Each structure stands twice: as structure tokens, then as C-alpha cells.
């Protein structure tokens, strides 16, 4: 999203600078706050929305003409409550300055800069850049700036200078500074230099190409998919637990209610253990999806939730708990820079294998990347580009400046202001939505998406081992809720709420967008194509127009199956679907 500068460390940390603060203690000290964030008791900053002179970052710069305002700075939105806004900020750029007092007898191990930013932020200490982060985050994140602080700070008064740049949608900035925090701060990873990053941005599809692709795929009615027999993505993709029979059954239910695309998480550790086996199972999944007229968006990396995935038998779901065993990919240990050559091989091998496969609709390279993962996000885009895929590249969070098409997540009630954040020069897809208890429902979300030309993927499909029918934060042993949070079908194929099936079917087969018209039958791109094995792929995908039975595929019009026997599902349970 927007502009990002390379994090430069243009100072040498000398012995004198280190000794000035004394040796690091071998035991952790109590946290000492040098700068309070808005939630800790907002402090006052000098600020301006007019571009200042070049020396504004220096300690000797005179900022007395700048107005004063309390942190945080920004606007209220779904992730920014009014209680955290000390000073409204609605312009494209904001410059801040603050004097921070450093105790003369300071002795510390770690200095953490806590930052909540939307969007691009740069932080300077006494005239030198110590932190730079593009994009946005939705919570306060602590970053380790110990080396920079030891080299640049001094006893007494120090000057923090901050620049934040905003492009679209919500905006916010708040900072805190603490010695020896209780949390472990994130380490900043070296990023691409400015020239390489700009080259990667320039390699994006043009808006014209993105809109041509969007017109070709038609309105997307999708779902995030894990079979009901899998507790996480490792269990989904491992050889021992890969379940094509269940996948075929469930994608059949999806097809019959008019869903036409699946967003599917891939687990790196399965590739690490068995590269060709994983690719073979991805091939099998695509064969099943194609038979069911469902296109596929694969996700290669993910920062949610359990940080270290493991192979082998997976833990059982915790009763009553939402998504209790979901694991990150590749996980904290494997995403360290020393393992990047292996991750590069994974991305290039998987994307390269399916680069011309029409059944793959798009590549979602990194799901909900945390702010510290931005360097790996950038690298993932570079590796995927090198594989020359015919499909667009995207990523939700931390990568809007690199995406061919825009993808976002929205689990709240329809909000025009939030949706306007994503609708700009490129087509947009909401790749996670529908959380009934949070106010995101088929009856209120789908009409808004249809009006704005936004394709969508609901979270979940069938009630299963990931237990996402329970609400977020449900306690262990909680009873099954009468109103599911996510998911659409019971394990036997009956809809949780039959009226939602009709709401899905009513989603238009054609979008009318100002300046663009998308007319297509549901499913994957309509252009001719071949599978990754050179096998011709059937097309175009047919429109689902006739209701069928979830249990035995009979027509509800005559209540008999094709073999002449009675339907096994009673009419009152089907609600006339």
C-alpha cells in the first residue's frame, strides 16, 4: 500500500556508544515507559499536515509554530474506536515531533518502539531513520530498536520525528516507547532496496489487464475451504489424511447451490517433507474442483494462528473452541531469513507447476501477514513473478502496492466507507466474509457487493473439525450455537439456514461497474486453457439454474431420483431448495 522507503542503518554502532549506557544486565528489568501510547495515557505531540523543510527531522529544528495535539491521530473506523483518537487527522500526510527524556542512569537490555500505523510510517531519532514500515496494521506492534537507540540516543532530551503517509480508507498513527518491555519485540528484517522494490511494483499487471481478467472470470461466489475431516491445513494435505472422497462430496454441495470458486490454504511443511506428493494432491484437488465447476485460489503462506506447524497426527479440536488447531505456514521458525532459499524453491515450484493452469484462478501469496512479515511478502511476490504465472498475484494485508488485483477481508456489517477503501483503479475481491454473529450475513452483504461489483468468498463451507461454526472467543466446552458464526452446510449436506442458499443463488451472474462490464457464466476464466499436465479442461462453466437435493441430487420438481426411487430427504427439511 502506497510508498515505502528502505530501512537504512546509516550509523556505525561503536564501542563508546554501547558503553555509554553501561553493560546489559543479565536479568530482565521492569518495563520503563519513555513514551505513552494513546491507550496508556495519550501524550501531546507537535504536528503539521503541510510538508515541512528537509531538516524537520533534526533536533535543532524549531517546531514551535506547529500546533499541538494528543495521540492517537486519525479517524474512527471498525478497528479504531473513538477512545483512541486524540486528534482528528484526515489529510494524505502527517508529520509529528516529540521530545523524549532519557534517564541519565538508564540501564536496559531492550528498547521497543510500539507502533500502530495506517498507512506507511517512518520514525527518526535525533535526525536518523530508525524504523520504516509500509502498509498498515490493526493493533499496536512492538519492534526492537535497541541497536539504533544505543547508537543515537543520549541522556536527557531526544527528538522523535514521525512521518505517516495515507492513500485510501481508514488512517491512524500512534506510538509508544518502552525500555525492557514484557512482550518480545519483533526484529526488523532487511528489505529490498528502493530500486528493487520499485521494480517489483512496476511488474504488477496494468489496471487494464486486471479488469480484463476480472471480466473473464465473472462474478465470484466463493468459499474458504477445508474439508470437514481436517482440523487444519496439515491434516488436509498430508498423504495419510488427504480425503478426495469428502472433497468431491462437499464441492458437489457447493456447486449445487451456485458457489463457483474455492480459496484454499496450502501448508508449506507438507511440501518440505514431500514436494512431489503435495503437488500431486493439489493436482487431484484441481481435478475434483474442475469437475464441480469450481475455480481455485491457492494461498501459499499464512500468519494465523499457532506459530509452529508440525507433521504427523494432528491434535483433536478443542471442544467448543473456534478453529482451535489452525497453524501458520511456514511458521515462525521456518520464515527466518536463513530458510528463505527453501521458501523460494517452494513458491517457484508450486506457482511454476500451475503457472498456465486455467483451473487456478489466482494466487493469494500470503494471508493476513503480520507487519514484521512484510519482507517475506515482498520476497514471495518476487519469487512468484519469476515463475511467470498467467494468473494474477494478490495478498490480503501488507501488499496492496504489489497486488495485481485487490483482496480484503471484512467480517462486519456492510460499511460504505470501508468498502470505498478497496474500490479504486483495480478490481476488488472480498476473500473472507460472513460472520453471522458479527453482523456480516448473506442478506445484507451480498446485495452491497453486487451493487459495487465485488466478488466474495465466505469463510467455511461444511461444519467440521475446524469448528468455525462456533463464534470467535468461544470457551472450551461451549454448546453449539443456534446461529452459526461461519459455515453453510451440516455434515450430511443439509443447509444450516436454507434461505441463505437462495440468497447465494440470487447473486447476479453479471456485474455492471462504472467504466466496466463483466458478463460471464459462473466459475473460472472463460478463456480456453489446459491443465498443468497438458490435458484439455472443459469450459465454459454452466449456470446452475435448477435446484437439486443435497442428499441424492434429485430434482425437487418431481421429488424422485434419476433411478426412480423416492428422495431420501423430506421436503420440509429442504425448505423447497
- What is the CATH classification number for the domain harbouring 47? 2.60.120.260
CA proximity to 250, closest of 271, 238, 236 = 236
The span from the CA of 345 to the CA of 340, in Å, is: 9
Same-domain status, 146 and 281: no
Residue 534, domain member (yes or no): no
- Residue 448 and residue 414 in contact, taking contact as beta carbons nearer than 8 Å: yes
Helix (H, G, I), strand (E, B) or coil at 286: helix
Same-domain status, 34 and 143: yes
- The CA R_g of the chain, rounded to the nearest whole Å, is 26
Residue 1, domain member (yes or no): no
Same-domain status, 222 and 182: no
Residue 7, domain member (yes or no): no
- Residue 294 and residue 523 in contact, taking contact as beta carbons nearer than 8 Å: yes
Residue 262, domain member (yes or no): yes
Residue 96: C-alpha distances to residues 67, 128, 174, 233 (Å): 10, 15, 10, 44
Number of separate domains in the chain: 3
Same-domain status, 273 and 130: no
Q: Which cell numbers hold the place of 483?
A: 446461529
The span from the CA of 87 to the CA of 433, in Å, is: 31
The span from the CA of 261 to the CA of 360, in Å, is: 10
- Residue 360 and residue 352 in contact, taking contact as beta carbons nearer than 8 Å: no
- Residue 160 and residue 121 in contact, taking contact as beta carbons nearer than 8 Å: no
Boundary residue ending a domain (134, 159, 188): 188
Same-domain status, 458 and 507: yes
The span from the CA of 460 to the CA of 226, in Å, is: 7
Boundary residue ending a domain (128, 155, 188): 188
Same-domain status, 301 and 157: no
Q: How far does CA 535 lie from the centroid of its chain?
A: 33
Can you give the pLDDT at residue 514?
59
The alpha helices in 292-357, defined as continuous H runs, are: 340-353
Same-domain status, 564 and 508: no
Burial of 324-344, coded b for 16+ CB within 10 Å and e otherwise, reads bbbbbbbbeebbeeeebeebb
The span from the CA of 418 to the CA of 421, in Å, is: 5
- Within 10 Å of residue 224's Cβ, how many Cβ atoms? 23
Q: What are phi and psi of 277, to 5 degrees?
A: -65, -45
Same-domain status, 312 and 454: yes
Q: Domain limits at 563? A: 548-577
The span from the CA of 560 to the CA of 553, in Å, is: 10
Sign (positive/negative) of CA torsion 287, 384, 377, 311? positive
Helix (H, G, I), strand (E, B) or coil at 136: strand
CA proximity to 74, closest of 117, 133, 121, 135 = 117
Provide the CB-side half-sphere exposure for 439 (13 A, CA): 6
- Residue 401 and residue 425 in contact, taking contact as beta carbons nearer than 8 Å: no
Same-domain status, 228 and 340: yes
Classify residue 92 by its DSSP letter. Answer: S
CA proximity to 167, closest of 550, 385, 426 = 426
Same-domain status, 403 and 437: yes
- Residue 413 and residue 446 in contact, taking contact as beta carbons nearer than 8 Å: no
The span from the CA of 406 to the CA of 394, in Å, is: 7
Element (H, E) at 364: strand 360-367
The span from the CA of 558 to the CA of 564, in Å, is: 10
Residue 202, domain member (yes or no): no
- Residue 574 and residue 556 in contact, taking contact as beta carbons nearer than 8 Å: yes
Strands (E), 228-272: 261-265
Task: Using CB atoms within 10 Å of the CB of residue 562, give its burial: 0 to 12 exposed, 13 to 18 middle, 19+ buried.
Answer: exposed
State the chain's maximal CA–CA distance in angstroms.
Answer: 90
Same-domain status, 184 and 321: no
Boundary residue ending a domain (519, 538, 565): 519
The span from the CA of 164 to the CA of 370, in Å, is: 19
Q: How far does CA 373 lie from the centroid of its chain?
A: 11
Q: Which residues of the chain have pLDDT under 70?
A: 1-29, 78, 105, 189-190, 514-577
Helix (H, G, I), strand (E, B) or coil at 119: coil
Residue 308, domain member (yes or no): yes
- Within 10 Å of residue 306's Cβ, how many Cβ atoms? 16
Can you give the pLDDT at residue 105?
65
CA proximity to 449, closest of 506, 507, 521 = 507
The span from the CA of 382 to the CA of 384, in Å, is: 6
Site of grid cell 418431481: 558
Residue 537, domain member (yes or no): no
Same-domain status, 362 and 497: yes
Residue 399, domain member (yes or no): yes
Amino acid at each position: 500500500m502506497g510508498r515505502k522507503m528502505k530501512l537504512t542503518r546509516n550509523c556505525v554502532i561503536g564501542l563508546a556508544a554501547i558503553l555509554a549506557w553501561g553493560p546489559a544486565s543479565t536479568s530482565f528489568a521492569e518495563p520503563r515507559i519513555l513514551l505513552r501510547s494513546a491507550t496508556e495515557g495519550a501524550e501531546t505531540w507537535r504536528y503539521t499536515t503541510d510538508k515541512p523543510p528537509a531538516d524537520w527531522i533534526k533536533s535543532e529544528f524549531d517546531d514551535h509554530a506547529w500546533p499541538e495535539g494528543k495521540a492517537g491521530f486519525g479517524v474512527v473506523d471498525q478497528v479504531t474506536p473513538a477512545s483512541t483518537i486524540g486528534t482528528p487527522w484526515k489529510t494524505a500526510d502527517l508529520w509529528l515531533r516529540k521530545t523524549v527524556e532519557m534517564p541519565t542512569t538508564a540501564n536496559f537490555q531492550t528498547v521497543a518502539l510500539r507502533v500502530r500505523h495506517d498507512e506507511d510510517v517512518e520514525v527518526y531519532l535525533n535526525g536518523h531513520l530508525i524504523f520504516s514500515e509500509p502498509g498498515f496494521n490493526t493493533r499496536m506492534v512492538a519492534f526492537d530498536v535497541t541497536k539504533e537507540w544505543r547508537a543515537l540516543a543520549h541522556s536527557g532530551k531526544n527528538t522523535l520525528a514521525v512521518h505517516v503517509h495515507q492513500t485510501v480508507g481508514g488512517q491512524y498513527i500512534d506510538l509508544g516507547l518502552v525500555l525492557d518491555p514484557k512482550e518480545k519485540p519483533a526484529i526488523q528484517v532487511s528489505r529490498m532496496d528502493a530500486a528493487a522494490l520499485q521494480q517489483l511494483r512496476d511488474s504488477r499487471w496494468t489496471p487494464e489487464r486486471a479488469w480484463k481478467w476480472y471480466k473473464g472470470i465473472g462474478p465470484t461466489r466463493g468459499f474458504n475451504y477445508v474439508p470437514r475431516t481436517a482440523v487444519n491445513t496439515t491434516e488436509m494435505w498430508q498423504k495419510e489424511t488427504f480425503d478426495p472422497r469428502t472433497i468431491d462430496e462437499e464441492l458437489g454441495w457447493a456447486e449445487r447451490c451456485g458457489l463457483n470458486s474455492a480459496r484454499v490454504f496450502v501448508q508449506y511443511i507438507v511440501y518440505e517433507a514431500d514436494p512431489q506428493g503435495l503437488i500431486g494432491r493439489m493436482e487431484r484437488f484441481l481435478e475434483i474442483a474442475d469437475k464441480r465447476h469450481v475455480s481455485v485460489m491457492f494461498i501459499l503462506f499464512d500468519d494465523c494462528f499457532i506459530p509452529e506447524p508440525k507433521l504427523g497426527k494432528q491434535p483433536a479440536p478443542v471442544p467448543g473452541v473456534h478453529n482451535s488447531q489452525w497453524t501458520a505456514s511456514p511458521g515462525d521458525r521456518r520464515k527466518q531469513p536463513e530458510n528463505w532459499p527453501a521458501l523460494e524453491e517452494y513458491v517457484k515450484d508450486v506457482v511454476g507447476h500451475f503457472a498456465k493452469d486455467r483451473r487456478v484462478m489466482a494466487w493469494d501469496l500470503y494471508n493476513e501477514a503480520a507487519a514484521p512479515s512484510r519482507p517475506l511478502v515482498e520476497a514471495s511476490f518476487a519469487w512468484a513473478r519469476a515463475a511467470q504465472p498467467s494468473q494474477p498475484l494478490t495478498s490480503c494485508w501488507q501488499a496492496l502496492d504489489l497486488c495485481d488485483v485487490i483482496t480484503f477481508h471484512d467480517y462486519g456489517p456492510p460499511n460504505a466507507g470501508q468498502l470505498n477503501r478497496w474500490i479504486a483503479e483495480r478490481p476488488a475481491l472480498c476473500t473472507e466474509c460472513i460472520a453471522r454473529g458479527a453482523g456480516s450475513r448473506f442478506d445484507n452483504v451480498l446485495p452491497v457487493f453486487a451493487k459495487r461489483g465485488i466478488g466474495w468468498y465466505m469463510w467455511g463451507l461444511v461444519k467440521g473439525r475446524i469448528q468455525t461454526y462456533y463464534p470467535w472467543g468461544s470457551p472450551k466446552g461451549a454448546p453449539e450455537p443456534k446461529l452459526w458464526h461461519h459455515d453453510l452446510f451440516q455434515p450430511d449436506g443439509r443447509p444450516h439456514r436454507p434461505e441463505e442458499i437462495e440468497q447465494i443463488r440470487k447473486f447476479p451472474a453479471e456485474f455492471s461497474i462504472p467504466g466496466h462490464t463483466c458478463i460471464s457464466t459462473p466459475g473460472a476464466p472463460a478463456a480456453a486453457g489446459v491443465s498443468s499436465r497438458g490435458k484439455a479442461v472443459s469450459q465454459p462453466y454452466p449456470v446452475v439454474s435448477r435446484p437439486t437435493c443435497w442428499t441424492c441430487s434429485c430434482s425437487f420438481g418431481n421429488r424422485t431420483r434419476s433411478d426412480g426411487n423416492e428422495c431420501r430427504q423430506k421436503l420440509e427439511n429442504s425448505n423447497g431448495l
